[in-house]
Amino acid sequence: STNHKDIGSLYLWFSFIMFLTGGAMAMVIRAELFQPGLQLVEPNFFNQMTTVHGLIMVFGAVMPAFTGLANWLIPMMIGAPDMALPRMNNWSFWILPFAFTMLLSSVFMDGGGPNFPWTFYAPLSTTYSPDSTALFVFAIHIMGISSMMGAINVIVTIVNLRAPGMTSMKLPLFVWTWLITGFLLIAVMPVLAGAVTMVLTDKFFGTSFFDTAGGGDPVMFQHIFWFFGHPEV
């Protein structure tokens, strides 16, 4: 469907499924921490759970929930028949299930899934990470592409499809917040893409962006990551 309400509902259902998936991982984490010395799962599997739980809750539950609300409400609030770019809207949703299927499938790889908590700081995500890091980076890229397409769609819709007489000062606050969010997403998503690409090349292609031995700086990763991270939040 290219109907904004259908796509909004798809986002909300997807978000709910991811919420349950991330919640199951949280249960593993809490069970392991139930009492000192209890050993229910392997330490490495525990680390994978903390990482994938965080990624799924932030990128799979919270963000699609808000995007789904935006899809549902913005056209109705500004008097538009649909989003400005309905086919792109459809695409930006449908690449998400595949991205998160890849992220989840990485847990079943040899060496396990990503095991550096969701902020994936270097050198944990470069020198000490499993080979599934490549799959994790690809999943993050696809998620970022989805976010950017959604943001472009929201901005174009709000700027171009307002009902006659609805000036910017008459827009509901929800629409304003999404207009600002759209610009923030377009500004910071490429920064995250750059950060995870540097993680990828540090791990597999011999670069040393975050390796002090080669003239890099692990603290630079944190600067780049949080330049994305806070506007995102």
Q: What is the 3-state secondary structure (H, E, C) of 19-85?
A: HHHHHHHHHHHHHHCCCCCCCCCCHHHHHHHHHHHHHHHHHHHHHHHHHHHHHHHHHHHHCCCCCCC
The CB-side HSE value for 166 (13 A sphere, CA atoms) comes to 17
Q: What is the mean pLDDT of residues 20-37?
A: 96
All residues at 6 or more sequence positions from 146 whose CB lies less than 8 Å from its CB, including other chains? 92, 93, 95, 96, 99
For 56-115, the pLDDT digits (tens) are 999 999 999 999 999 999 999 999 999 999 999 999 999 999 999 999 999 999 989 999
> d(Cα 147, Cα 151) in Å, to the nearest integer?
6
Q: Give the separation between CA 64 and CA 60, rounded to whole angstroms.
A: 6
Domain count, the chain: 1
Q: Which of 128, 130, 123, 144 is nearest to 55 (CA)?
A: 144
Q: What is the mean pLDDT of residues 189-195?
A: 96
Interval 134-161 mean pLDDT: 96
3-class SS of residue 123: coil
Q: Which domain holds residue 20?
A: 4-230
- Rounded-to-integer distance, Cα 163 and Cα 217, Å: 51
Is the pLDDT score of 162 beyond 90? yes
Which CATH number is 218's domain given?
1.20.210.10
- Determine what percent of the chain is predicted with pLDDT higher than 90: 97
